[in-house]
Structure 1
């Protein structure tokens, strides 16, 4: 009877342990993908004209978001917030990089991207490519964008989420903005930092 009791206790303990291990993280603003797939092969260019490829994200936590330098609201707000959050993100993972993906390659030249990103943080990346390369890359990350308007006055509608890629080059999570009464939907820095910390610690 004692032996049977110990076996039952061991089985119950095993079930409790497994449930604890698979319990979802209490994330505030993000969603971790069940299947973490590597990014498809891509080639873009950064603000210095250097190639930005799958190899560039290896060994780094890469936080991507998409936009354009003429964006009137979402992009400057996002970059200001990320610049403020960056020191805390670095404390969690010193190998974190923030990558701004320009969806407006016609107007966002290398020089313009360099000036634009340096205004917020010189450590950030500002990458782009022709639409033939940019569209499949952005779609692979789960971003969407579209030109709205005519001639040179067009605007670019684009996603406002962030996507986190692991040091193995795999898409691991998406951070989504929450509606704010009377304000633009946004990702709060406190929630970003908390979720990022949990994801990084869990990945390790």
Structure 2
């Protein structure tokens, strides 16, 4: 296993407090927003078609946000396949969820590179990149660690490997660990979707 992968997995285990690679926090679907961790926020990046997008473009959908890069040897392909499998198992509910894959290697991950990469897994995955400052700002908002390792063209990027579940307003709900079982993720997402439906059904009518 390459050094970068070891660091990524070690960071995930540390973040879980030693609870194990598949550990995750149950969705806080009814908890007040002020008790949630300060994870997430505004970002401005470029999608795989070269279009400028912001976090606001994903409002109304649940987001599965994770960071990585196209030259990643194992962690990122695993994460992307995980996202594709989640969408497949969600069936009709997949339209309520958008996996968002943000590059931490903007020097190599151009929009066209990201496009060909994410489409190998599922075209519904939103691949985002940007310049170094834009990527750094997004990573900071999500409390994501990343660091270039090596020199020349054959470098790697060490990075943390959380998958963040964000609500329809872009607020943090919970996180899944690297390589969490797909069924666990699907179950959490279905519960969140059901909770959203129930909340909307009892919401007071909007005043005209």
Same fold (TM over 0.5): yes
TM-score range, shorter chain: 0.7 to 0.9
Q: Which structure has the bigger radius of gyration?
A: 1
5 Å matches for 1:126-145? 126-145=127-146
TM-score by structure 1 length? 0.75
| Residue 24 of structure 2 is aligned to residue 29 of structure 1 | yes
Could you say which residue in structure 1 is the equivalent of 2:171? 170
Mapped contact 2:87–2:94 kept (Cα < 8 A) = no
Could you say which residue in structure 2 is the equivalent of 1:149? 150
2-structure distance, mates of 1:82, 1:156? 21
Mapped contact 1:66–1:100 kept (Cα < 8 A) = yes
Could you say which residue in structure 2 is the equivalent of 1:125? 126
* 1:104 shift after superposition: 0.5
Q: List runs of 5+ in structure 1 lacking aligned partners.
A: 1-27, 178-185
Q: List runs of 5+ in structure 2 lacking aligned partners.
A: 1-22, 29-34, 200-208
5 Å matches for 1:73-92? 73-92=74-93
1-structure distance, mates of 2:101, 2:55? 16
| Residue 97 of structure 2 is aligned to residue 96 of structure 1 | yes
Mapped contact 1:60–1:167 kept (Cα < 8 A) = yes
Q: Alignment length, in residue pairs?
A: 170
Describe the SS at the equivalent of 1:105. Answer: coil
Describe the SS at the equivalent of 2:124. Answer: coil
| Residue 176 of structure 2 is aligned to residue 187 of structure 1 | no
2-structure distance, mates of 1:93, 1:188? 17
Describe the SS at the equivalent of 1:135. Answer: helix
| Residue 66 of structure 2 is aligned to residue 65 of structure 1 | yes
* 1:32 shift after superposition: 4.3
Change (3 A) 1:108 1:81: same
5 Å matches for 1:36-51? 39-51=40-52
Could you say which residue in structure 2 is the equivalent of 1:201? 194
Query: Mean alpha-carbon deviation: is it higher for 67-76 or for 160-169?
Result: 160-169
Deviations along 1:44-75, one digit per CA (max 9) or x if unpaired, are 00101111202212111111111100111011
Mapped contact 2:26–2:188 kept (Cα < 8 A) = no
* 1:187 shift after superposition: 1.1
Mapped contact 2:64–2:97 kept (Cα < 8 A) = yes
Mapped contact 2:103–2:129 kept (Cα < 8 A) = yes
Change (3 A) 1:36 1:57: farther
Q: Is the strand fraction higher in 1 or 2? A: 1
Deviations along 1:102-124, one digit per CA (max 9) or x if unpaired, are 11010011111111011111111
